[in-house]
């Protein structure tokens, strides 16, 4: 019995390593619309392009594969995937149960969801300390999201994001909810550098991901996720975010 167990384990390990090796040196066609029309990126398309390009190249080197990037437009992105012009696409489509039979999703390589900003000298260091705090919001959507996530906070509505940010650094409120982490990083890098800091990670599932058709090119998703996790673990991902002003 012990001999059979050892043999079975050896077979499983062999299959695992052979599966990992089959992707080495393989080329994948990746479709992408670098204008990111659905993101509202505040004229940061070139920055996101540069970050994504370097991230793909770094993962490709890490995993010994080739990513051939094919620029297209949003209208042809999913069509090109369905007609097998691409092996995968980069998209902001959010994973939902209704899409499980259509696509397979990678882990997000760039979070774009809502975040909370607090003053750099704020005593609040975790979401648990937000109870009873005053948080600025600029849209009804933000207010509804905040109440769902943190029902014990008090909201104060502002007509503009700049008004909420000024109230924050004047210590009239404790935090501001910003609907996009890309917008938040712009404020942190430019107008309010050193004055505000990120309190929370994105509060929902919004993000840029690699997509493939369901049941096809699953090894591409595995390869991408494996490489992305390595970059997280060795600190390269954080360095890339900082290099391109996205985190």
In this predicted structure, the answer to whether residue 22 has a pLDDT above a threshold of 70 is no
Q: Which is more confidently placed, 37 or 205? A: 205
Report the distance separating Cα 137 and Cα 139, nearest Å: 6
Q: What are phi and psi of 223, to 5 degrees?
A: -65, -45
In this predicted structure, the answer to whether residue 19 has a pLDDT above a threshold of 70 is no
Separation in Å, CA 36 to CA 50, 70, 239, 244: 13, 14, 23, 16
pLDDT of 24-76, one tens digit each? Answer: 679 999 999 877 766 655 567 888 889 999 999 999 999 999 999 999 887 78
Provide the pLDDT for residue 101: 87
At 204, is the pLDDT very low, low, confident or very high (cuts 50, 70, 90)? low
Q: What does DSSP assign to residue 36?
A: -
Domains and CATH numbers, the chain: 26-111+206-243 (3.40.190.10), 115-198 (3.40.190.10)
pLDDT of 95-144, one tens digit each? Answer: 888 888 899 999 999 988 888 899 999 888 777 787 788 999 988 888 88
Alpha-carbon torsion 80, 204, 221, 65, what sign? positive
Q: Which is more confidently placed, 100 or 157? A: 157
Laid out side by side, the sheet with 115-119 consists of: 154-157, 134-137, 175-178, 115-119, 196-198
Helix (H) and strand (E) counts in the chain: 8, 11
């Amino acid at each position: 019995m012990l001999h059979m167990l050892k043999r079975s384990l050896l077979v499983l390990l062999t299959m695992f390593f052979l599966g990992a090796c089959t992707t080495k040196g393989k080329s994948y066609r990746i479709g992408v619309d670098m204008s990111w029309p659905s993101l509202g990126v505040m004229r940061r398309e070139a920055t996101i392009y540069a970050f994504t390009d370097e991230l793909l190249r770094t993962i490709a080197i890490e995993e010994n594969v080739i990513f051939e990037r094919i620029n297209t437009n949003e209208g042809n992105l999913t069509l090109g995937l369905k007609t097998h012009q691409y092996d995968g696409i980069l998209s902001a489509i959010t994973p939902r149960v209704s899409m499980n039979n259509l696509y397979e999703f990678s882990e997000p390589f760039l979070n774009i969801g809502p975040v909370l900003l607090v003053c750099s000298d704020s005593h609040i260091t975790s979401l648990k300390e937000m109870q009873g705090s005053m948080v600025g919001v600029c849209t009804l959507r933000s207010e509804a999201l905040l109440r769902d996530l943190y029902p014990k906070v008090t909201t104060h509505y502002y007509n503009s994001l700049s008004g909420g940010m000024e109230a924050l650094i004047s210590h009239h409120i404790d935090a501001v909810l910003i609907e996009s982490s890309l917008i938040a990083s712009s404020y942190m890098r430019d107008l309010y550098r050193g004055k505000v800091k990120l309190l929370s990670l994105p509060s929902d599932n919004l993000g840029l991901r690699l997509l493939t058709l369901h049941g096809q090119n699953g090894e591409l998703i595995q390869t991408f996720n494996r490489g992305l996790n390595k970059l997280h673990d060795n600190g390269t991902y954080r360095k890339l975010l900082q290099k391109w002003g996205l985190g």
